[in-house]
Each structure stands twice: as C-alpha cells, then as structure tokens.
C-alpha cells in the first residue's frame, strides 16, 4: 500500500490508531460534533469570537443550554475561552476544528445533492 493515500500519511495514521488514548480522544471529539446544537455553536464560532448571548441568538437555545454545551466543548479541546470584563468570549481552539466542521459539511452536502460548501 502507498505511504500516502487520499492525502493521509498512513504511517502517522497507524501510529495514532495504535495509541488507545489518541483513539479515545478522537471518539470524544466526534461525539461532541454529533450534537446538532454543539455543531451549530462551532459553526457560529467559525465565523468569529462570540459571547454566550451571541451564541444564544445564533443557536436559538437558552443561556444555560449554551453554557452547558460550552463546558463540554472546552473539555474536548474544541473551543477556547477568554474573559472580557464580566463576559466570557469563546473561539475555536485551532484550525483543526474548522477543518472538521468544513469537511463534515462538505461530505454531508455531497451526499445530499446540495452544492459543495466552501470554507
């Protein structure tokens, strides 16, 4: 088999798959991404930093629901937070998160017959 297939370094992939902690961490990330509200939150953050109240408007859920989801997303390493006075301002943790979101949306659009989503 070629050392690179579909743009993936198979040796690195094999190393990661052999490490149960890494596999577990990946499953936790995908578990977090599998929730509609969390995915919408990440989508809003892909456009820029947001406060809880801004996320509330973007996702049409309560403040307590946003706060609960933000704790889970922070625990999974998908979002970062900083304090601005009394408010917490959230952002995506890194470029990997936007890649995951974009790839998921592109794949879903491909399978549903919708136009390809551009990141």
Local confidence band at 119 (pLDDT 50, 70, 90 cut-offs)? very low
- The pTM (predicted TM-score) of the whole model is 0.82
Q: Where are the beta strands (DSSP E) in 8-109?
A: 8-9, 50-51, 79-84, 87-92
Domain range 4-92, CATH class: mainly alpha
Asked if the model's pLDDT at residue 113 lies above 60, the reply is yes
Instruction: Give pLDDT tens digits for 55-69.
Output: 999 999 999 999 999
Closest CA to 45 of 100, 84, 85, 86: 100
The domain limits of the chain are 4-92
Local confidence band at 105 (pLDDT 50, 70, 90 cut-offs)? very high
């Amino acid at each position: 088999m070629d050392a690179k297939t579909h743009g993936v370094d198979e040796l690195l992939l094999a190393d990661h798959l052999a490490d149960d902690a890494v596999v577990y961490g990946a499953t936790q990330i995908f578990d977090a991404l599998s929730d509609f509200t969390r995915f919408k939150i990440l989508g809003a953050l892909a456009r820029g930093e947001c406060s809880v109240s801004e996320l509330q408007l973007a996702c049409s859920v309560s403040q307590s629901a946003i706060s609960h989801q933000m704790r889970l997303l922070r625990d999974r390493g998908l979002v970062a937070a900083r304090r601005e006075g009394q408010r917490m301002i959230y952002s995506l943790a890194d470029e990997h998160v936007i890649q995951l979101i974009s790839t998921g949306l592109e794949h879903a659009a491909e399978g549903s017959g919708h136009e390809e989503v551009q990141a």
